[in-house]
Amino acid sequence: MDLLMTEEEVRFRDEVRAFLDTHLDESLKRAERLNPSFLADPNIGLQWQAKLNEQGWVAPSWPKQYGGTGWTLAERYIFDQECERAGEPHFRGASIKMIAPVLMRYGTDEQKAFYLPRILNGEDVWAQGYSEPGSGSDLASLKTKAMLNDDHYVVNGSKIWSTLAHHATRMFALVRTADTGKKQEGITFILIDLKSPGVTIRPIRSICGTHEFNQVFFDDVKVPVSDRIGEEGEGWDIAKYLLEFERGGAFAGGVLRAMLTRLHRLACEPLPDGRKMIDDPLFAARFIEIATDVDANDMLELAAMSKVQAGGNPGSVPSSTMKIERSRIRQSIAELAASILGPDALRWEEHRPLHELPEESEIDEGRKVASAVYFNSRSQSIFGGSNEIQLEIIAKTLLR
């Protein structure tokens, strides 16, 4: 692999850097520095998305015909790394990297024409409706029902762990439309307007004090048949396709590298006794080990993204492998930061979001957010399918 940039790629990198220097203001960067989650506060993320949309750079992973950039894989990688270096808010979640690929592959022309532009300009923000109470890793046991009534479905049930649903305008959801045959065969994929009568959203506050997750209740909620993706009973196959993009459909190495940079900055600060953790040989060895893992993850991502670049999907084994590695690396960084903070790593901050608190030095703010990041990182190996489930997917696929 040739890791040297061509002259064209250097020019592209400089163009990206100039744009970021001009448009990514300090308030957005501070909000991201103080964000313990894997996604930005939507109020922050949408501000940055609007600036990128004006430039045509919102969705580099999309085909150009739908509003993508048409960049090469190398340019996409450079863009990701430069955005992370600059400290951009992470806003590409359920809307851009999950429901959009499903619409492109399974949606009707009318659905694509209506929803994709609204995703790009931020008019629609999507939440995911998969897990239910009692149906997490065993997703096929879901019980939320959708009964067909003329030209619409009537939906009853609830979804849980719906990330940022309290900010979302719409939800893509798996519902049960039949109880006969294998449980996977009765599942259908639908799109729900969260402003519809009968939708109730209740917050779930996480252990680090943030409000990211929600439980969403549906009581006789009407969903037009025109908002069904695919045919009845095809939801399971569509859901598995989407999960490949959730687990491995975009670059994440830049996020990990940004976390590692913050950890290095923290390790270079003097402790109360005057020592610096970066000078400790055991700490430094562990830091280098994690940094090497981040580099290896970059290579894994590039291999998977080359498939997406060619119009395919990441594949179940690469996406599951990336899901495991990303969560492991993120937790390792958080644990090493906690070793610096000591008891402060378990500190509870009552006020959220952190970027609304009075400004402090970047180091003091880094210490404050590190405790929340530590708690938040524990969920990384659970959501999106636990690491144990990912290992099972890999084993079944490779040993079949």
User: Which residues are part of the catalytic machinery?
Assistant: 246
Phi-psi category of residue 70: left, alpha or beta, with phi > 0 → left and psi -120 to 50 → alpha: left
Amino acid occupying residue 233: G
